[in-house]
Amino acid sequence: MSDLQRAADIERLMQLLMHDLRSPLGVAQGYVSLLNGQALSAEDRVRALRGVIDAIARISALVDDAATLLVPDETEGRWGFVDASLLCERVSAEAGRRGMHIASLEVCDGVKVRVGNSVDRLSEAITIVLSPTARARLGPAQPVTLGISRNDMELGFRIGGSCTVHPRSPDLVAFDPAAIGTVEHLKAHRHISSLQGHVWREVGETRACGITLPLSH
């Protein structure tokens, strides 16, 4: 990566961080104002203090996320593999918790996928990128359905359009994580890329988004 590209990436990260910090900072300031300027009941004081604590925790998490994006991802160079079926199950479970409908669960017996040092961390990163929040930022709100498919070379996860990620078509282009506009999504995208995965979006009305990961036989 050139110095100019790295500087541009850092500038974009700082812009996203400042954007994400506004909300918890505003929440903390509001609760501090209540605590400082009004006679609150004991119950309301406890609620306000909890609000301040939660807001500060959110700010701390955002700063930590931004810091990890300034150094090489810890999975780079680590070649931890698991059965692809395990990753599919974990992604499906996490997607369900995030309100997605699971359209299909591909049979992935006999193949492995690189997950680095944590299958759960990768599952979370995949669902963050493909989450309803991400979809809402990319296009009109629609029911979010996750499809899982595979071919001989790749495992794919997709929302929008058909449930099949493969084969890659001219309508699929590399996804720009800055289009989502949060540090959390940028970090998730970075983690997927560090494991030689790719995030795609589909050009056209479907606004589909997909992730492909290389398989090992």
**Which of these, 73, 63, 55, lies nearest to 13 by C-alpha position?**
63
Domain ranges, ordered by start, for the chain: 3-68, 81-216
Residues contacting 128, CB < 8 A, separation 6+? 134, 184, 185, 188
Residue 77 burial class via C-beta count within 10 angstroms: exposed 0-12, middle 13-18, buried 19 and up: exposed
Question: Which pLDDT band holds residue 126 (cuts at 50, 70, 90)?
Answer: very high
Could you tell me how far CA 217 lies from the centroid of its own chain? 27
- At 24-72, the pLDDT tens digits run 899 988 888 888 877 788 888 888 899 999 999 888 888 877 777 666 5
Note the pTM of the prediction, 2 decimals.
0.67
pLDDT digits (tens, 9 = 90+) for 136-174: 555 555 667 888 888 888 898 988 765 455 545 556 666
Fold of 3-68: Helix Hairpins (1.10.287)
**119-129 helix and 183-194 helix, angle to the nearest 10 degrees:** 130
* Cα gap 119→113, rounded to integer Å: 10
**Would you state the structure tokens that stand for residue 82, as one six-digit string?**
């698991």
Q: Report which of 157, 161, 139 is spatially closest to residue 148, judged by C-alpha positions.
A: 157
Average pLDDT of the chain? 77
CATH code that applies to domain 81-216:
3.30.565.10
- pLDDT, tens only, 10-25: 777 777 778 788 888 9
CA separation for the pair 212, 214 (Å, rounded): 7
d(CA 186, CA 200): 14
Residue type, 217: H
pLDDT bracket for residue 213 (50, 70, 90): very high
Statement: residue 123 has pLDDT above 90: yes
How far, in Å, are 102, 112, 204 from residue 95 at the CA level? 8, 21, 24
Percent of the chain at pLDDT exceeding 90: 5
